[in-house]
Chain A
Amino acid sequence: MITYVSRRLGLLVPILVGITFITFMVSRAIPTDPVVAALGQQAADHPNIVAAYRAQWGLNESLLIQYLIYMKNLFHGNLGQSIYTHRPVAEDLLSYMPATIELAGFTILLSVFISVPLGVLAAVKRGTVVDLLVRLLTLIGVAMPIFWLALAGLELFYFHMGIVPGPGRLSPLLNPPPRVTGLFTIDSLLARQWGTFNNALAHLILPSLILATWTAGTLTRMTRTSMLAVLPQGYLNTARSKGASELYTILRHALPNALIPVVTIVGLVFGDLLTGVILIETLFSWPGIGRYAYEAAIYADFPAIIGITLVFGVTYSLVNLGVDVVYARLDPRIRTAMALGRR
């Protein structure tokens, strides 16, 4: 297993070099001048300011030289400096990532919490009204545009009913907890600030519920399909014949086997959530990586764009690796295959 994981981690290097190269070249090919994006109207017409700016950000060098300088810095752990925020990209990423991780993590928790029982229920009650209802709900969840749900959710639950707090990660009247992980819920617990914890958790609920409508829809359908494939298996009858209750048989014997493909989807969905929360983050004033990515794109902030792409690339690769490792935990056959080096 360790060899397998090391080999997979080793493969990350060429993938990341490829990502930087493609992103770098594409970002330079678009007809946008970062000087225009970053400087004001008077400043951009001022030759001295423009020259100083180009020199400062290495924009006068040839494309290849710019790329090589970038890669050299990258190998020293330096992702460069954002043209837009003027801060190191790594620092920016560290400040924006926790908000997204917290939102995506909570969404995944909610999704699994909702979708696994629903999927099992729908499979067990296949063809009944319950099944139909679950399938209808998941279809709605998958089909509804997230931005519409977000607007409608804010309008209904915050504006009209007032049962959830407004946008943001925390009430403006509260100070964020001392930073340890950057996740407000965790940090407030560590600092024993219970009021802040409650407030941060409350702010998480609506955006993550809305995001979860899509993820839970996908996961429920996957769980249902997977359970349907497992339920007719003979070993379940063996368990029953040994006197196990039906619920025990389903939870202990059927579900773990049905969860293997679900784990794959959870991994992919988590990756998608990290990269696809731009709309939610904008609507909920959530200072996450999605908004940072959006601003970087709008302002042609090349170092930030490459930094974000790298983070996304690494996240996807690591999540996939994590999924494979979990596979091995769930399925002894895969574990054996890994040990034999067949994958």
Chain B
Amino acid sequence: MKQDNRRLGKRQYSLPGAQPSRREFLQHSAVATALTSLMSSAVAGATSAQAAQPKKLDTLVVAVQEGDTRTIDPDDADELTVPIFLRAIYDQMVTFPGSIVTRVVPDFANKWEVSSDGLTYVFALNPNIKFSNGKPATPEDVIFSYNRQRYLKGPASWFQDGVKSIEKTGTHEITIKLNSINVDWLFLLTSPFLSIESAEMVKAHGGTGAQSAAATDTAVAWLDQHSAGSGPFILDGWQHGSQLTVSRNPYYWGKPAPFDRVVFRFVEEATVQRDLLVRGDVQFAMNLSPDIAASLQGQRNIGVLDVPSLATVWLGINVNLNPALKHPKTWEAIKYAIDYDGMAQLYKGGGKPIASCLPPGLPNALPIDERIKQDLSRAKAALAAAGYPNGFPMVLTYASGQLYYNVPASLIATYVQENLNRVGIKVNLRPVPSTEELTEIRAGKLEAFIHEWGLDYVGWTDVLPLFAPGGHVAGPRQNWYPNYSRDAQKIADLAKEATMTLDPKKQQTLCWEAQRLMNEVGPFAWLFEPYIQIGYRTDVVKSVSTNPVWYVDVGTVELV
């Protein structure tokens, strides 16, 4: 058999000349040659097209994860990945000056006044603002946008919760009254989810600001492919999974961008984003991992921006489930057993230590030198005081595939496990899918977990009151309520008082006191604040303003 086949093989080449075989051969060769040449010419065309860089940059290309982007309708969106797109298209009432997030500056509104009771805000709108259809902006557009968001009852409608009334009080003036004091309200207005659209354009495509909006508004689909804003760019289209493209708004009231178009290219993998950046096919890579960002440091024509995310990664303890974890002394043991500085070696540039629930970039954050540091003898003493001198077992749940921005959750969980084992606390790690973890955390079913709190808006009131006893996080998720102890009651009172205090100094004193007490007796270990690491081409981009919510403001990019 073997012999036969060998012979057959030989004969195949020794007798190639017969007519039918030649025809067959030529036919197959022709197909092969055609396909090969087609492929090679296609490759040559594509690569040479990319290699031939135009002298002037007409199109800025940004590699970014599409992530959880569900819609580009500013009144219906509430996802982490959307603000970068919304910020390019829409204006907000006020915004941040460049990369600073501790004060606000005019955007849609020129100036504003706040009543002494902190409940009434009067905004003078910028009369020069025009929407992308060329029509001037009016107070009615603000009223329409805010009402539409409220009545759509979508995931972002809570932004309108504190608003009692919105009224036009002049040709270019609007007055907003709040139900109760919200000391962060101006900061909240910077959110791209509080963008202002042209009422005329949105209404023309089925939008409404009426109370029936949840049932009757049909503009979401249109706003996913078009825009009705006054920002530096207009939405050209969004191809799911592929890219989102914007082009220059000819009616933009501010300084026009130095390029005509921005293509947000959806690239989920950090390594691929790096490759695209290094080869010069994109000018920004928005989602670098700490390892990749470190490897790019010092590389020719590449820069890395480290943007604080203002998010908090913490170890949370449910005070009601594991008997050992009901005792504040065991919480103390956990807090002091963790080597926070050692952890920084793991997340590298992808994070920085925090002193409490408020990351250092937020107003009223506890000074960083007051942060808890590892103290094993204190941890052991606390365990002994709690009646567990030899430690105890506990289950620590985390989301298996989760990245805290770009730091893997598994890396942090394993590190914490090792740290706690050192003082005798036997940690059984329980990795679960992220949606399952979130479901269980929100239902208060996890005895201990590692989780991340990302900001819904840049403001300390989106963090401290929620972590105070009875707050959204401490209460339902960790069963820590004011009646747990006198200290818990005190922290809750301090946090509440701070949210009602307009005087910044007094506010800070109250917040610091609450955080110090929380560090002492709270069921939390503050692990770190993730950083957003963004790569960019230094041979193309001169400067850009960054922000923890919209990462980079493409409208502020200055070219070399």
Partner of B46 from A199, A228, A251 at Cβ < 8 Å: A199
CB contacts (< 8 Å) of B275 on chain A: these are: 154-155, 158-159, 166
Q: Which residues of B contact A300 (CB under 8 A)?
A: 435
With contact pairs A39-B155, A96-B241 given, residues A251 and B45 touching in the complex (Cβ less than 8 Å): no
A36 and B442 form a contact (CB under 8 A): yes
Partner of A44, one of B221, B271, B442: B442
Quick one: CB contact mask for B455-466 with A, threshold 8 Å, 1 for yes?
010000010000
Residue A40 lies at the interface, judged by CB distance under 8 Å to chain B: yes
Near B by CB (< 8 A), chain A positions 37-92 give 37-46, 48-49, 52-53, 84-87, 92
Q: Check B9 against A37 for contact (C-beta < 8 Å).
A: no
Would A247 and B12 count as touching, CB distance under 8 A? yes
Task: Tell me if B278 is interfacial: C-beta within 8 Å of chain A.
Answer: yes
B240 at the interface (CB under 8 A from A): yes
Contacts of B268 in A (CB 8 A): 282, 285
Closest 7 CB pairs of A and B: A287-B241, A245-B18, A202-B46, A247-B21, A201-B42, A245-B21, A198-B45
Closest-by-CB residue of B relative to A147 is B269
Are A163 and B43 touching (Cβ within 8 A)?
yes
Chain B residues, CB < 8 A from A203:
46
Binds B, one of A6-14, A168-176, A269-277, A312-320: A168-176
Interface residues contributed by chain B, number (CB under 8 Å): 82
How distant is A126 from chain B, measured CB to nearest CB, in Å? 4
Check if A30 is an interface residue, CB within 8 A of chain B.
yes
Interface membership of chain B positions 121-133, coded 1 if the CB is closer than 8 angstroms to chain A and 0 otherwise:
0000000000000
Within 8 A of B (CB), among A260-297: 282-288, 291-292
- Counting residue pairs across A and B whose Cβ atoms lie within 8 Å, the total is 233
Within 8 A of A (CB), among B16-45: 16-18, 20-21, 24-25, 28, 32, 35, 38-39, 41-43, 45
Q: Which residues of B contact A201 (CB under 8 A)?
A: 38-39, 42
Chain B nearest CB from A63 CB (Å) reads: 17
Given contacts A40-B79, A40-B156, 5 further A-B contacts (CB under 8 A): A52-B214, A96-B240, A199-B45, A244-B20, A285-B269
For the complex, give the distance between the alpha carbons of A195 and B456 in Å.
Answer: 44
Q: Least Cβ distance of B282 to chain A in Å?
A: 8
Name the residue in A38, A130, A167, A201 with the highest tally of chain B Cβ atoms < 10 Å from its Cβ: A167
In the complex, whether A165 has a CB less than 8 A from a CB of chain B is: yes
Given contacts A165-B47, A173-B59, contact A46 B436 (CB under 8 A): no
Contact with A along B234-276 (1 / 0, CB 8 A): 0000011111000000000000000000010111110110011
A198 neighbours in B (Cβ, 8 Å): 41-42, 45-46
Contacts of B92 in A (CB 8 A): none
A87 shortest CB reach to chain B, Å: 7
Interface flags for A106-122 (1: CB within 8 Å of B; 0: not) read 00000001000100000
Residues of chain A lying within 8 A (CB to CB) of residue B263: 172-173
A181 within 8 A of B: no
Residue on B with the closest CB to A243?
Answer: B18
Q: A52-B214, A171-B50 are in contact. Are A248 and B24 (CB under 8 A)?
A: yes
Q: Which of B18, B76, B453 contacts A244 (CB 8 A)?
A: B18
